[in-house]
Amino acid sequence: MRWSRLQNGFNLIELMVGVSVMALILYFMIPSMGAWMQSSQIRSATESIQGALQLARAEAVQRNTNVELVLTSVAGGGNSTDWLVRCVTPSATCPGTGQVETFIQQRVAREGSPNATVTLNPAMSTIVFSGTGRITPLPAGNITINVGHQKANSCLTDGGDFRCLRLILAPGGQMRMCDPAVTAPNPRAC
């Protein structure tokens, strides 16, 4: 048997076929990867706001005082996903406006979701939880916070490519995340 005829490695044709297959895979994968990345930013922003709402409610109950979530960009007339949680009435154990440390926790939009936007009634840009965990003053109905992409008409519901999400906050303080592009009876539907 001639062992000298066995080859180790690839010849040029095998290498070119491998490179062509990889190029085709990348060609078809990159557009959907971009939409997936943007949808991930929207989900990250939505989960961040939901976590902030839960934090504000828990801090209000724990401290037995009013704690507010301020969507800082929306309060200033913008639509970014910045927020901060602070006490309405500052004390030695509860940071708020006018103190050295003015917040319990905060997040800026650059942290994981720079392309996500928030849409809600600007009058609701500050949500206050009482010491019992309920929203105060009691709103007439649910508060709806839509989180989407900064590009107009980019959500699946508008014919776009991105999966936008919605937070629904009940007057009693309960909240849920849902997907406006999904229809009932799916549990993710709004």
pLDDT of residue 74: 85
Q: Render pLDDT for 108-139 as a digit per residue (tens, 0 to 9).
A: 877 778 888 898 888 888 999 999 999 988 88
Contacts of 89 (CB under 8 A, 6+ apart): 65, 66, 96
Looking at the structure of the chain, the number of domains it has is: 1
CATH number at residue 103: 3.55.40.10
In a domain, 190, yes or no: no
In a domain, 153, yes or no: yes
- List the Cα angle 33/36/40 in 5-degree steps: 140
In a domain, 138, yes or no: yes
Which residues of the chain form beta strands (DSSP E)?
67-70, 83-87, 105-107, 116-119, 126-129, 143-149, 165-169, 175-178
Q: Which two tokens stand for residue 72?
A: 């800082």
In a domain, 64, yes or no: yes
pTM value?
A: 0.81
Q: Which residue in the block uniquely carries the two structure tokens 């107009």?
A: 152
pLDDT of residue 86: 92
In a domain, 31, yes or no: yes
DSSP letter string over 56-67? Answer: HHHHHHHHTS-E
Higher pLDDT, 130 or 154: 130
Distance CA 4, CA 143 (A): 77
Q: Render pLDDT for 56-68 as a digit per residue (tens, 0 to 9).
A: 999 999 999 999 9
In a domain, 183, yes or no: no
In a domain, 5, yes or no: no
Residue 37 scores a pLDDT above 60:
yes
Q: What is the mean pLDDT of residues 11-35?
A: 84
Which structural domain, as residue segments, surrounds residue 137? 11-178
- List the Cα angle 136/142/143 in 5-degree steps: 75
Distance CA 34, CA 51 (A): 26
In a domain, 156, yes or no: yes
